[in-house]
Amino acid sequence: MIWTFTPNPALDITWQAPDQTRGQVHRITEYSQRPGGKGLNVSRVLDQLGVPSHATGFLGGATGRVIASLMKEMTTLVTPEWVEVPFQTRRSIAMIDDTATVYNESGHTLDPDSWKQMADLLGSHLNADDLLVVSGSLPGSSTFEVLEPVLRRVRQIGCRIILDTSGPSLVECAAWADVLKPNHLELLDATGASSIEEGARALIEQGPSWVCVSRGEEGMDLFSRESHWHAEAGVVLQGNPTGAGDACVASLARSLAQAGDDLESKIPTAIAEAVATSAAAVTMPVAGEIDLPLREELLSRISPVRLS
């Protein structure tokens, strides 16, 4: 079973208000809201791929209740396992006219007991053949130190872990991960490397089996200890790239959950499916959704290349 853990979920709110002028009153012409946070987006994409998952994260207050309700309404294969906290879950508000202006609340810094509850939840539910995806930012001023005990507990069970994070946490978490999924800018920034391969190799030396590096229109590179593969969609798609990384992680989770012990032989299929799924998210208006027919069309044309 695949589990997704979103440390800092959000209620994503979109307001359409044409001809916005700073300092003026505006009428909202369209309004929408959906569950936000990278791990929840991963579960939603898995749901569209027909893959069951369990979704967990910290939820609190009226906003948290809305997120929980929306996840039930919008998915059929996602089982919720929330940890309740005594704070209002954050919001992310996008104001749209001919451009998008986004306001992200940072979320509340959680006390140690909340993190212990999460470690206990995962520790009591996960089995050795399960897979955990940890994706997104940490709430408030939290640092890697609060996440490490959770990862240690999961590691003791024997679960595989996919981490999608950035900044110092990318390096700090590397030893706990089976798969890391930075984009190329995050990789270079976190490692201080002068090339993508140098940065990926530095992370692999700490323990991960795969480092998958997304490069936008230039495709994707997947590094293991034995090889370096590259694949790209072969077409430039116009749209919203916000959810492409989450779609990629969902695809990697699906591949890893099906891979068994022979990960190396699964790389060509895994990177092809990750590129196709990621590209199929670009044409959708919001993160957490993919164009399934487009995914299948792209997948039939993608030919991964081994570079080393």
Please list the pLDDT of the chain residue by residue as tens digits (308 residues): 999 999 999 999 988 888 888 888 888 888 889 999 999 999 999 999 999 999 999 999 999 999 999 999 999 999 999 999 999 999 999 888 877 788 899 899 999 999 999 999 999 999 999 999 999 999 999 988 999 999 999 999 999 999 998 888 899 989 999 999 999 999 999 999 999 999 999 999 999 999 999 999 899 999 999 999 999 998 989 888 889 999 999 999 999 999 888 899 999 999 999 999 999 999 998 899 999 999 999 999 999 999 99
pLDDT at 31: 86
CA distance 121 to 144: 19
Structure tokens at 160: 């595989």
pLDDT at 42: 98
pLDDT at 242: 85
CA distance 146 to 50: 33
CA distance 23 to 20: 9
Nearest to 243 by CA among 208, 288, 280, 304: 288
| Strand residues in 41-171 grouped as ranges (E) | 53-59, 78-80, 83-84, 90-96, 100-104, 131-135, 160-164
- Taking the CB of residue 69, how many other CB atoms lie within 10 A of it? 12
Nearest to 82 by CA among 112, 41, 107, 54: 54
Convert the pLDDT of each residue in 205-259 to its tens digit: 999 999 999 999 899 999 999 999 999 998 989 888 889 999 999 999 999 999 8
Question: Reduced to 3 states, what is the DSSP secondary structure of residue 52?
Answer: coil
Q: Residue 212: beta bridge partners?
A: 222
pLDDT at 101: 83
CA distance 2 to 129: 9
Structure tokens at 233: 């969609």
- Domains in the chain, ordered, with CATH? 2-7+36-88+106-306 (3.40.1190.20)
Q: What is the pTM of this model?
A: 0.95
Name the one residue in this structure whose structure tokens are 């979109």. Answer: 14
In terms of DSSP bridges, do strands 160-164 and 179-180 run parallel, antiparallel, or are they unpaired? Answer: parallel
CA distance 165 to 133: 11
| H/E run at residue 252 | helix 244-259
| H/E run at residue 164 | strand 160-164
Environment class of residue 238 by beta-carbon count within 10 Å: exposed (0-12), middle (13-18) or buried (19+)? exposed
One-letter amino acid at 151 equals L
pLDDT at 168: 87
CA distance 124 to 154: 10
